[in-house]
Amino acid sequence: MHNPALRACGIDASYVRVQVPPGHVRESFGLFAHHGFLGVNITIPHKFEAMEAVDEVDPLAQRLGVINTLIIRDGRLLGCNTDGPGFLRSVREAFGAEVAELRLLILGAGGGAGRAVAVQSVLAGCRHLVLANRSADKLQPLLMELNGLAPGLLLQTCAMEPPALETALDGIDVVVNATSVGMKAGDAALLPAGALRASHCVYDMVYRACGETDLIAAARAAGARHADGMSLLLHQGAISFEHWFPGVTAPLDVMRAGLASA
């Protein structure tokens, strides 16, 4: 998506893939700066290591606890997070509502992606969150943090088991899958069969190039509105682009077409 955007904006630059072994992130960032790179997107498994390898972390990324984008200016390395803001934009586009207006159930809230979505949603004004995780112990630090951010927040936890999930879905607008379930065909179902209704919205952070996930298929069968991780990829990429080129509006339709053609 970035190379079509660069061409559309008349920017003389290229977006390339660089393989970096774990443990060499700091070294690679120094090389990027030395060779005139403007910025970098950071993918797993490097996001946490990257946070320790920059000169400055912006306030939102500090809150979310992870960076996924590097901005290089005058030799200084600034780390930021575009996944959180990208989530807000893609929810707005997919469901025609702000996160602040919605009741969210986050599946896999104890992981890095789930934590980031939960924190970003509360920062954006969400007042009703249900957090589900296979290990309840992993949720305790997040519960304390979220209550500290918004003392009036209606915050609940839910076991990742069919009866509990069915009950939780009764009071929910949007189901967010922040687990890795769905990346592979044949993964176990996240929700009980028939639990989704047309009134629900489903946001699956997973996407597969070879077809939709089972969760998206279940949403479609229920008549529920849905979006997958491709939407997040698009919007976080657009935000990265605007970080790297201040004053330039990312050409979203061009970037969307680039993703589709890939």
Q: Which residues are catalytic?
A: 47
- Sheet of 225-228: strand order equals 154-159, 128-133, 103-107, 174-177, 201-204, 225-228
Q: Do 20 and 256 form a contact (C-beta atoms < 8 A)?
A: no
H-only helix segments in 150-192:
162-169
In angstroms, the CA 153 to CA 146 distance is 8
Q: Do 25 and 50 form a contact (C-beta atoms < 8 A)?
A: yes
Residues sharing a CB contact under 8 Å with residue 250, sequence separation 6 or more, in sequence order: 5, 237, 238, 239, 241, 242
Quote the Cα angle for 170-123-1, to 5°.
90
Strands 225-228 and 103-107: unpaired
Q: How large is the C-alpha radius of gyration of the chain?
A: 19
Q: Which residues of 171-207 are buried (b: 16+ CB within 10 A; e: fewer)?
A: ebbbbbbbbebbeeeeeeebbeeebbeeebbbbbbbb
Residues sharing a CB contact under 8 Å with residue 32, sequence separation 6 or more, in sequence order: 40, 70, 72
Within 13 Å, how many C-alpha atoms sit on residue 50's CB side?
Answer: 28
